[in-house]
Amino acid sequence: MNHTIPEIQAEIVDEFSMLNDWVEKYEHLIDLGNNLRVIDESERKDENLIKGCQSRVWLHAKQKDSKVHYTADSDALITKGIIALMLRVFDNQPSDEIMKASLDFIDKIGLKEHLSPNRANGLLSMVKQIKFYALALQAKSV
């Protein structure tokens, strides 16, 4: 059964609240990144790089059965974990839900305050690109 974006975000908040400190939380992010479904090699191209990320982050999206499916990768461990976290929330969701989703969970788990300014900007760039793809795919399917 598919979970809604708010349900997935609540699961993530619960998960992070069980971790004792930011060392454990970073380790959890790295684990998430290591379990990220690998982006197809053909999608590791410059046009799929997210602008505004200090590390290289590739993001690809396609629509299937009125849901947006994302794949991604990064050359940095923490960044790969962050994009894995974002895809856990947004992958396999309808475009309109992605576009209107609130991202309260980022503050609730304390992620933004534990990122360097460059990584925090990269996180915002990831979210913008995820939502942009949802909007573009929705427009294409109308």
Q: Tell me which long-range contacts 88-91 makes (C-beta under 8 A, separation of at least 24).
A: 88/8, 88/12, 88/32, 89/5, 89/8, 89/9, 89/12, 90/5, 90/130, 90/134
Phi first, then psi: give them for residue 93, nearest 5 degrees: -120, 155
Which strand (E) or helix (H) includes residue 70?
strand 67-74
Catalytic residue, from 53, 101, 123, 127: name it: 53
Is residue 53 flagged as an active site residue?
yes
Phi first, then psi: give them for residue 63, nearest 5 degrees: -105, 135
Residue 93: name the closest of 8, 32, 36 by CA: 8
Q: Which residues are catalytic?
A: 53
